Amino acid sequence: MTSEYETFVRDPAHILSGNEVVLSLRDLTPGRRKYRGSNVRAVVSRPPRPGEPALWIRSVVGVKDPRPCSVRIVEELPETFNAVAFSDFFDAMEKAERR
Amino acid sequence: MAHKDLREFLAAIRQTGDLQEIDDPVDWDQELSGIGRLSCERNGPAFQFNNIKDYAGWRICANPVATWRRYAVALGLPADTSVRRLYEIYAEREQQSIPPVTVNSGACKEVMIPGDKVDLFDLPVPMVHEGDGGRYLGTWDLVVSKEAHGNWVNWGMYRFMVHNERLLTGYPRPTSHLGMMLLNGYVPEGRTMPIAIVIGADMPSHLASTATFRIGGSEAELAGGLGQQPVELIKCETSDLYVPASSEIVIEAEVFPDKIAQEGPYGEYPGYRSGEMGNALCARVTCITHRRDPILTLDTTGFMDSSACNTSISGAIAIKRRLENHGIEVADVYVPPESGIHMAIVSVRRGGAEVAQQAVQILTARRALISKVIVVDDDVDVFNMAAVIHAFSTKCHPVRGIHVTEYQGRANALTPAYSLQERVAREGASVSFDATWPPEWSKNETPIRATLDSMYSPDVQQKVLARWTALGL
């Protein structure tokens, strides 16, 4: 059971809106699979809600926001997003979110 | 003659005192790459880690050629070969390409893992820097790709990150040779593009793959020239690509034309993590082959990393050739590795504003990796940074000596000076600093440099140098 994730975002305010958003998460569970990626539809909370896995938000240059969040995963999404190679990844996530 | 495989090369740098082995347990999660990073910043040795947490039986070699000494050994030369001499030898060997030969068996096939059994987390892929987007498998690698229609095969050094058990994401720039092959050939036809990510090949093959080399050129032949012997190639298991047979690890994969996943950010060769994430490609692994007791090679990317010396040389040679093709009479070019491959120093037979302006426009015509060009007269030794700084500081006019050219769609997205918006749009600019005397100035009015070689008669120079030698200085 994963207890801690991180995610990289271009617009932190968007994912903290309280609405369902699409995220690419990195699993921070220690061990050989640490940093495994997955795509999800989820709701992010700050301050963190009890019982939900912790989530750390990082900027596009990898700066970690020290304020903890939690994440409730609503749906596991496919491992990739449909978009032409070299497309903007954040745009592809937004499109997936609107579906 | 260079060494035939990574292990022979490591034995050689062990002998010259340029390799440090660590048998104590070291963590793949930042610790071992932190050691490698510090070594780059202190001009220290390469490291071989023999005991990696969670990954018994695997070894990692960090920064095989991050110093000029190790670069010299990689070319089969004495470790104390001068930088100028390394430039000369590289230029000579680049012209003596040797075609590869194909073989039917090779060490890289000792262990074979078919696609449906692949789990990338079985490899000791390091977390290179805290805050990177993930674990990077391809750092000191060689990625083989072939154009969709035709026979051009490209070798390039491109970064690849582990997304999950079988998926990798990578960032060859869209303007790179691999990027062009994908976007111009496979994407329009909706076909996957086969690639092979080769880790721990012979050093000349890696040097060729990281070299600035012409479109359509064969890096395999270049590797033969650099190593003075043909590279032995062996066919991949799941594609018709060929890879160096003595490689430690080969990851065969297919790049999706129409699927992406998160890639980056990653601390890159300019020495920063610039937030260029978001424009990458995604590949599914189809097979892994590797040697027994494999050694994964790692470039702890950043300031003075493993690609810095080679890109310095190959970039300078490419710059010289392009300028000469456009009629500029070039004496020498030096790309200081400390510049993060963002600056070139060009000495010319005849300088002036027109030449300086022309130089920066020529060098940014297709893709603009260099953002600063210092043009000096040919009496300045481009390898002597003290002399370059002196010329730049004193001869470059603060207004008339600066020539800027701006461009869109071909800027270096890894250049830290650009804003996030500029990096995403690949908008940028390059500048040429003219540190030459204007050719229209009369010789009678041009300042004379106050150095021994310029402001003293030949007789006095000779006497001074003789005295200097006699004093044992």
Q: Does the pLDDT at position B324 exceed 70?
A: yes
Q: Is residue A13 part of a domain?
A: yes
Q: Is A72 on the interface with B (CB under 8 A)?
A: no
- Residue B4, sorted as left (phi over 0), alpha (psi -120 to 50) or beta, turns out to be alpha
Work out the end-to-end distance of chain A between its first and last CA atoms, rounded to an integer number of angstroms.
Answer: 28
pLDDT for res B105: 97
pLDDT digits (tens, 9 = 90+) for B219-249: 999 999 999 999 999 999 999 999 999 999 9
- Phi/psi at B233 (5° precision): -115, 150
Please report whether residue A36 resides in a domain. yes
Distance from the A47 Cα atom to the nearest Cα atom in chain B, whole angstroms: 22
- Nearest chain A residue to B263 by CA distance is A89
Task: Among B131, B162, B279, select the one facing A86 at the smallest CB separation.
Answer: B279
Give the nearest chain B residue to A93 (CA atoms): B261
The domain tally of chain A equals 1
Question: Model confidence at B401, in pLDDT bands (50, 70, 90)?
Answer: very high
**What mean pLDDT comes out for the span B14-41?**
98
What's the confidence (pLDDT) of residue B420?
84
Distance from CA of A18 to the nearest CA of B (A): 23
The count of CB pairs under 8 A between chains A and B is 115
Residues of A in contact with B421 (CB under 8 A): none
Per-residue confidence (pLDDT) for residue B277, from 0 to 100:
65
Token pair 């020290």 is found at A66
pLDDT value, residue B214: 83
pLDDT (average), residues B58-80: 97
Residues of chain B contacting A90 with CB distance shorter than 8 Å: 278
What local confidence, expressed as pLDDT, does residue B228 receive?
A: 97
- pLDDT, averaged across chain B: 95
Band (B368; pLDDT cuts 50, 70, 90): confident
Residue B276 pLDDT: 67
Q: Is residue A98 part of a domain?
A: no
Nearest to A87 among B54, B134, B260 (CB): B260
Comparing CB atoms, the residue among B132, B134, B259 nearest residue A80 is: B259
- Which residue does chain B place closest to A62, by CA atoms? B131
Percentage with pLDDT > 90 across chain B = 91
B54, B265, B279: residue with CB nearest A62: B265
* CA–CA dist B435, B356 (Å, integer): 9
Helix B308-325 × helix B353-363 angle, to 10°: 120
Domain hosting residue A57, numbered range:
4-77
Concatenated DSSP letters of B279-348: B-EEEEEEEEEE-SS-EEEE---STT-TTHHHHHHHHHHHHHHHHHHTT--EEEEE--GGGTS-EEEEEE
Asked whether residue A57 is domain-assigned, the answer is: yes
Q: Confidence class of residue B425 from pLDDT cuts 50, 70 and 90?
A: confident
The ranges of chain A with pLDDT < 70 are none
User: Does any CB of chain B come closer than 8 Å to the CB of residue A38?
Assistant: yes
Q: What is the mean pLDDT of residues B305-322?
A: 92
Could you tell me the residue ranges of all domains in chain B? 6-298, 326-453
Nearest residue of A to residue B424 by CA position? A88
| Residue A37 to residue B132, Cβ atoms within 8 A | no
Task: Answer whether CATH 3.90.230.10 is correct for domain B6-298.
Answer: no
Q: Which residues of B touch A95 (CB under 8 A)?
A: none
Q: What's the pLDDT score for residue B166?
A: 98
Residue A42 inside a domain? The answer is: yes
Determine contact: A90 vs chain B, CB below 8 A.
Answer: yes
A29, part of any domain: yes
ipTM of this predicted structure:
0.97
Cβ contacts of A8 on chain B, cutoff 8 Å: 133, 262, 265, 277
| Range in B168-177, B213-222, B341-350, B418-427 the model is least confident about | B418-427
Give the per-residue pLDDT at B278. 72
Nearest-Cα distance to chain A for B95, in Å, is 34
A92 lies in some domain: no
Residue B1: the pLDDT is 86
Contact call for A79 and B163, based on CB within 8 A: yes
Q: Considering chain B, what percentage of its residues have pLDDT values greater than 70?
A: 100
B58 Cβ contact partners less than 8 Å away, ≥ 6 residues apart: B52, B123, B124, B293, B294, B295, B296
Nearest chain B residue to A63 by CA distance is B131
pLDDT tens for each residue of B91-147:
999 999 999 999 999 999 999 999 999 999 999 999 999 999 999 999 999 999 999
CA distances from B445 to B190, B401, B438, B440, B442 (A): 65, 18, 11, 11, 5
Cα distances (Å, whole numbers) of residue B395 to B334, B370, B438 = 19, 22, 10
Average pLDDT over residues B285-302: 97
B255-292 pLDDT tens trace = 999 999 999 999 999 999 987 667 899 999 999 999 99
Interface contact B121-A36, CB threshold 8 A: yes
Host H or E run for residue B260: strand B259-260
Q: Is the pLDDT of residue B399 over 70?
A: yes
| B326-453 homologous superfamily | UbiD C-terminal domain-like (3.40.1670.10)
Q: Which letter does DSSP use for residue B416 in this model? A: T
